[in-house]
Amino acid sequence: MTGTKRYTGASAALLLGLAACGGPASIVVDNANIIDGTGDAWPTGRLVVVDGLITCVGAQADCAVPAGVEALDADGFWVVPGLIDVKEAAEVPSNEQAAYLAFLLGVTTAAVPEIPEGPDGERLPPTGSDDARIPAPRPAAPVEEPPYPFGLFGQALAATVPLDAGGPPGREPRDLQLYARSRPALADREALLDSARAMGARGAAFAPRLLEQERWAAPYRLPHGMNRLVEYAMVAERIQDRLLPDRTPAEAERLGAALEVHREFVREFHAAGGSVSTATNGALAPGLALHEEMDALVTAGLTAEDALYAATREAARYLGLEDSRGTLEPGKLGDFLILESDPRLDISLTQTVSRVGKGGVLYDPPTLFDALLDNPGNRVSDNPVRLLIGGAALLLTLLLFARGVRRHRRSLGPRVVP
């Protein structure tokens, strides 16, 4: 590729990290297996991002390499659109580390309900940013909808649960929650599934939040082979922070039956033509929850490819952002993931995040996570002095971990062609 800048070894890793000090960037991802989210795929494709926007995606013969643009050889890797959470839980106080973690696990856009102030009246910083220099999801406004369990599923449920089904055994919050989560088991199943088919045939949009119901029905177990980032204590702590009340065997059985009804509803809704997207509502640690929601959709009966579309194309449509993200197409934001394996074979392979691209800026999760975790409030601003300080601090951190960086670049990600 004549006229293309190329870097090798640790120098390339440093450039990937320091790119975060610049703003929207230009990058060519070459020789990748590209899944663009529209239904098209290229086994040896090329993605071109210029000044933060995609200018070309497709076969190498159809996409010229701009002069002076860095090229990354992604041979043997897969490129997919960045993941989107249509409803993440708000943090009080706002937790920047949670936003960084979600981003480094592949969530490039998250709709988080706005909380204007903290418990003591303090102003809360935003949990996301459109600035490509900040490794956090882009913010989006959540779609207004009735709270669970009403929503689209709840609307159908209300019409099919017998009037004499009774109520919760008590008025304690635990009793009310368990009753609400178990209620689908009381429904007229055929009538409920007829409603799912009718809604799907009308082209309705639905974010089922199956992971929430799964967590109530059975204890959560961290998946084997998950991205190495989940080995950090913060992730384990955030999973433990969301432990649910103990359930009796009878309660667990009812919750499991309700989950099966919920899954059937999602399967029939999708098969009839409905749009299914991903929402987590803080069911697990940030980022991890979205991967597990996709897995929950596959368990419900969607294919792995459909689950990937739910977290990209369909999620963007749900939020009204389909003109700027959700698929890899010219004119859209250069937000994408580089994965180690093909997620269409097994949706859990979305967890093998090797690089996260935001506005053309590439982030290396294993290399940058420690630096971000140390003090995530030290964001790079437009102030030249802070730009210089931030760049120097990041450079020093990466130099200290140079040996580890070289190992990571050999085993975790595509290498820049020398």
pLDDT score for 120: 66
- Residue ranges of alpha helices (H) inside 95-140 are 96-104
What does the pLDDT average to over 171-182?
A: 79
pLDDT above 60: residue 114: yes
Find the range with the poorest average confidence among 162-171, 196-205, 327-336, 381-390: 381-390
Residues 343-353: what's their mean pLDDT? 93
Residue 122, pLDDT > 50, answer yes
Cα–Cα distance between 354 and 365 in angstroms, integer?
A: 7
pTM metric for this prediction: 0.80
Both structure tokens of 337? 């993931």
**φ, ψ of residue 394 in degrees (nearest 5):** -65, -40
What does the alpha-carbon distance between residue 416 and residue 71 come to, in Å, rounded to a whole number? Answer: 7
* Between 68 and 13, the higher pLDDT residue: 68
pLDDT band at residue 18 under the 50/70/90 scheme: very low
pLDDT of 215: 84
Indicate the length of the chain as a whole number. 418
pLDDT (tens digit, 9 = 90+) per residue, 197-254? 999 999 999 999 999 888 888 777 666 555 455 556 656 665 654 556 677 888 889 9
- pLDDT over 70 (residue 349): yes
Q: Give percent of the chain above pLDDT 70.
A: 67
Q: Please state the rounded mean pLDDT for residues 92-120.
A: 76
Q: Which residue has the tokens 């799964």?
A: 214
For 391-399, what is the mean pLDDT? 44
Q: Residue 78 is which amino acid? A: W
Q: pLDDT over 90 for what percent of the chain? A: 46
